[in-house]
Amino acid sequence: MSVPADLEWELIVVDNNSNDDTAKLVRQLQRNGSLPIRYVFEKRQGLGFARNQGISAAKGEILAFTDDDCIVDAKWLCSIRREFLADPNLGGLGGKIELYNPKDKPTTIRPFTDRIQFSSAQLFYLVAGCNMIFRREVFDIVGKFDPDFTGCAGLVADDTDFIYRVHRQGFRIIYSPEVIVFHNHGRRTDEQIRELHKGYLRGRGGFYCKHVLAGDRHVLKMAYWEITPLLKGCLKKVCFLQSPKEEASVIAHLATGAAREFMNRCRSLSR
């Protein structure tokens, strides 16, 4: 990986209570001395917990996130640095996500070739957690990732929720096709894709529930414009004696996510 000679950087590996050789591998890399690598352990499993632990451990002013199934482009750090130097008002940055293995299903990718200013209309498909970068001050103002959306509870939305909160606070977020990672996700069957999308839908339902309960009318409108066409589609198919299986499935997963988030909030209040 190319690194500018005058750039001070560190690589933080968060071991999210894994049962593999993560700790051993990091120790080997530390002894090798070729990378400024640090090892951090987080007992509570889930991306939200892991990312929050990484934020607490990090010393830098720019925090870049990727996932354990991603390979960053050789110019990743150079591209990130160039974006933030060029725009002092830039709060957050997302980038291009391509498949690492062409045999994998073309899902969880961001192939857009244009530079795009983020808006809430693009919340669910533009910036993804495996290739996102923020200034330190963003976390000082917005806070960290919501551990309710860890993925372990079937709610995959910690990145979506955080990006929305950053945008709501008025920070400028950009998608740059020059900031690239390659996703080695390994999903090659339709069943694997269905399970993945199920988690995303439940996460979205939980996201809607969280912010609607907080009185966010914009998110209420977002939920309305997603759910209303689904309900109309169900009714139309029933009227024509067709099975509304697809629409009903989406509604059910959104509702399941909303119910789980509601219960999470109730438990938090009771504590």
Whether residue 203 sits in one domain with residue 117: no
Q: Mean of the pLDDT values across residues 262-267?
A: 86
pTM for the whole thing?
0.94
Q: How buried is 150 (Cβ within 10 angstroms: 0-12 exposed, 13-18 middle, 19+ buried)? A: buried
Q: 169 and 131, same structural domain?
A: yes
Q: What confidence score (pLDDT) does residue 156 get?
A: 86
Q: Which residues pair with 37 in a beta bridge?
A: 11
Q: Are residues 164 and 75 in the same domain?
A: yes
**Greatest Cα pair distance in the chain:** 68
Same-domain pairing of 113 and 234? no
> How high is the pLDDT of residue 268?
76
Mean pLDDT of the chain: 94
* pLDDT value of residue 201: 95
201 and 256 fall within a common domain: yes
Burial of 25 (0-12, 13-18, 19+ CB in 10 A): middle
Give me the pLDDT at residue 22, please: 94
Burial zone of 189 (CB within 10 Å; 0-12 exposed, 13-18 middle, 19+ buried): exposed
**212-261 pLDDT, tens digit each:** 999 999 999 999 999 999 999 999 999 999 999 999 999 999 999 999 99
Range of the domain at 255: 190-270
In this structure, are 15 and 52 located in the same domain?
yes
pLDDT digit string, tens, across residues 146-180: 988 876 566 789 999 999 999 999 999 999 999 99
Rounded distance between C-alpha atoms, residue 210 and residue 158, angstroms: 12
CA 145 vs. chain centroid, Å, equals 10
Overall average pLDDT of the 27-43 stretch: 93
> Same structural domain for residues 102 and 230?
no
Q: Where is the domain boundary, 160, 183, 206?
A: 183
Please list, in sequence order, all residues whose beta carbon lies within 8 angstroms of the beta carbon of residue 30, skipping any fewer than 6 positions away. 37, 39
Burial grade of 62 (CB within 10 A; 0-12, 13-18, 19 or more)? middle
- How confident is the model over 107-126, as pLDDT tens digits? 999 999 999 999 999 999 99
> Is 232 part of a structural domain of the chain?
yes
User: In the block, which residue shows the tokens 């795009």?
Assistant: 116
Residue 5 lies in a domain: no
At residue 93, φ and ψ (nearest 5 deg) are -140, 135
